[in-house]
Structure 1
Amino acid sequence: MDTRKRQIPPETYSAKLAQRLRMLRDECGMSQEGVAHAAGISAYTYQKFEKGESKPGTPMNPRLFTLLALADVFDMDIRELLDFE
């Protein structure tokens, strides 16, 4: 019996994180530019994140420090930010 977990495609994680970022931003009443500025990233980069992309057609792949900064903007732990269940 194979006990390894099934690998989830990166596109799935990217789509879920994109949806979560949009939801959190809407709940906070912030603009994309406001979130980007507070996290120390460009508005363009944040806009791509909300689309689930890093480059067109490429799944989002944010750096750890960017994820930590975004979690801080939304006043949560990074584990909460990445909890998609």
Structure 2
Amino acid sequence: MTVELLYFAWVRERVGMAGERVDPPAEVVTVADLVDWLAGQGEGHAAAFADRQRLRAAVDQAFVPLDTPIADAREIALFPPVTGG
């Protein structure tokens, strides 16, 4: 399964790119699994995904909790919590 990843704010800065296409292994079935797998892909990824509590996600442009399955996802966005004023 190939999926398009999008990174925003400090996640993008730490990973060093705005996005990438990845083909995670079969055992990656949730957003949380994906985050864990991505953390092992290099120093920037490890820094960006070190603390899951500081991450939010969207699957196909819908906000989701990290335990959401990614089976048919085309796009997954990872970003810090959003604050408003």
Higher helix share: 1
Normalized against structure 2, the TM-score is what?
Answer: 0.30
Structure of higher RCO (CA pairs closer than 8 Å, 6+ residues apart) = 2
- Which structure has the greater CA radius of gyration? 1
Normalized against structure 1, the TM-score is what?
Answer: 0.30
Higher strand share: 2
